[in-house]
């Protein structure tokens, strides 16, 4: 579904991604871990098409299409979804209107008619329950005055509404208390239908107790330096990242 080959990217002249390789197949759950500043959000941004990043080398293929050639909205319409680490607040754009616009733009791209008001509301209700997203937040401005947890839930709610093929979750767990974490994880697990693929970026192993990954990758200094299964996450939790860094230095100095 997604193939990343030797991806290099920089921002403001600073090299951030230094040769990422990653293959994600239908239905898989990948976790990306790594210390602060290693480039996890940058990778997510490049995939979603944030334009202050310049790709200097490499390729990204999504369902046989060159993802890097597409505008951000077309990537979303093709089925890429990014749950932001820091969702923005947009005063004056109602959550509801925003979602309706997004959903219908995606449908139009696929040649589908706009959803009838009734169908839209039905879908909204159903997906709200999935992440316990309060309906009184729906008529409010997008993320405005939302708590950290409400913003993150809104991201997952949007994910459920827009039904992408590939969902990238950037530190969706940060800022969530344990109850909220459980709700959000449950929501994500319910969305796992064997078709959708996930990339879960996280700092903590904690999230991976709820969302069980098929693969765990460690991103460090712009590169994936180790790939394993969920046991790797546990090991990282116990030992931190230093042993990996040392391993890397040993390898590089050889």
Partner 1 sequence: MTSDMILPFYQALTEDVNALSAQVPALATDTLQDIRRKALERFSTIGLPTLKTEAWRYTNIQRYLKEFPYELLTTAAAVAEDVVNSTAIPELDCYRVVLVNGHLQADQSTLPEGKGITIGAMSANTTATGFVTYFNEQQHLAAESMAQLNTALFADGLYIELAANTVVDKPIHVVNVYSCTAHAFIQPRHLWVLNRNAAATIIETSIHPETATIAFANSVLETVVMENAELWHYNIQQGAESFREVHTTAAQQHKDSRYHHFNFTLPNTPFTRNNLSVALKGSHTETNLNGLYIASKHQHVDNHTFMDHIMPDCNSNELYKGVLLDSSNGVFTGKILVHQEAQKTNAFQQNNNLLLGTKADINSQPQLEIYADDVKCSHGFTAGQFSEESMFYLRSRGIGEDAAKALMVNAFSHDITDAVKVPALQHFLQEQIAEIMNN
Ligand X SMILES: Nc1ncnc2c1ncn2[C@@H]1O[C@H](COP(=O)(O)OP(=O)(O)O)[C@@H](O)[C@H]1O
User: Residue 220 is inside which H or E element, if any?
Assistant: strand 215-220
Terminal CA-CA length for the chain: 35
Residue that is written with structure tokens 């004056």 in the block: 92
Check if the beta carbon of residue 170 is closer than 8 Å to that of residue 99.
no
Taking CB under 8 A as the criterion, the residue among 37, 91, 145, 240 binding partner 1 is 91
User: Residue 223 is inside which H or E element, if any?
Assistant: strand 223-228
**Sheet of 215-220: strands edge to edge?**
80-83, 166-170, 197-201, 29-33, 215-220, 223-228
- Is 41 a binding residue for Mg ion by CB under 5 A? The answer is yes
List the x/- string, 48-87, binding to partner 1 by CB under 8 A.
xxxxx------------------xxx-xxx---xx-x--x
Both tokens of 141, joined, read: 């401005």
Among candidate residues 64, 50, 60, 78, the one with its CA nearest the CA of residue 4: 60
Both tokens of 169, joined, read: 């979750």
* Cβ proximity to partner 1, 165 vs 227, nearer residue: 165
Check if the beta carbon of residue 166 is closer than 8 Å to that of residue 83.
no
Taking CB under 6 A as the criterion, the residue among 12, 51, 177, 193 binding ligand X is 12
User: Could you tell me the sign of the dihedral formed by the alpha carbons of 170, 162, 103, 147, in that order?
Assistant: negative
* Contact stretch for Mg ion (CB under 5 A) within 82-90, 118-126, 175-183, 217-225: 82-90
- Residue 76: CB minimum distance to partner 1, A: 4
11 binds, among ligand X, Mg ion, partner 1, none (CB under 5 to 8 A by kind): ligand X
* Contact stretch for ligand X (CB under 6 A) within 31-39, 63-71, 179-187, 237-245: 31-39
16 binds, among partner 1, ligand X, Mg ion, none (CB under 5 to 8 A by kind): ligand X
- Is 92 a binding residue for partner 1 by CB under 8 A? The answer is yes
How far apart CA 127 and CA 4 sit, in angstroms, is 31
- Is 208 a binding residue for ligand X by CB under 6 A? The answer is no
Q: Where along the sequence are the contacts to partner 1 (CB under 8 A)?
A: 48-52, 71-73, 75-77, 81-82, 84, 87-88, 90-93, 97-98, 101-103, 105-106, 109, 141, 158, 162
Q: Where along the sequence are the contacts to Mg ion (CB under 5 A)?
A: 40-41, 85
């Amino acid at each position: 579904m997604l193939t990343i080959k030797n991806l290099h990217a920089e921002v403001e002249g600073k090299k951030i991604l230094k040769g990422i390789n990653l293959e994600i197949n239908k239905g898989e759950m990948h976790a990306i871990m790594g210390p602060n500043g290693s480039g996890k959000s940058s990778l997510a941004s490049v995939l979603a098409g944030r334009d202050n990043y310049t790709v200097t080398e490499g390729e990204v293929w999504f369902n046989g299409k060159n993802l890097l050639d597409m505008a951000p909205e077309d990537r979303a319409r093709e089925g890429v979804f990014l749950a932001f680490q820091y969702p923005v607040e947009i005063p004056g754009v109602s959550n509801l209107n925003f979602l309706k616009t997004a959903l219908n733009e995606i449908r139009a791209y696929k040649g589908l008619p706009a959803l009838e008001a009734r169908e839209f509301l039905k879908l909204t209700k159903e997906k709200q329950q999935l992440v316990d997203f309060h309906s009184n937040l729906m008529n409010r401005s997008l993320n405005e005055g939302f708590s950290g947890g409400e913003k993150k839930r809104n991201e997952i709610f949007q994910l459920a509404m827009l039904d992408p093929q590939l969902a990238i979750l950037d530190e969706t767990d940060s800022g969530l208390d344990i109850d909220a974490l459980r709700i959000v994880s449950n929501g994500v697990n319910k969305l796992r239908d064997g078709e959708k693929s996930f990339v879960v970026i996280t700092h903590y192993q904690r999230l991976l107790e709820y969302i069980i990954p098929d693969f765990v990758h460690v991103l460090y200094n712009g590169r994936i330096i180790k790939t394993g299964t969920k046991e790797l996450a546990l090991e990282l939790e116990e030992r931190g990242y230093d042993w990996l860094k040392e391993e890397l230095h040993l390898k590089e100095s050889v």
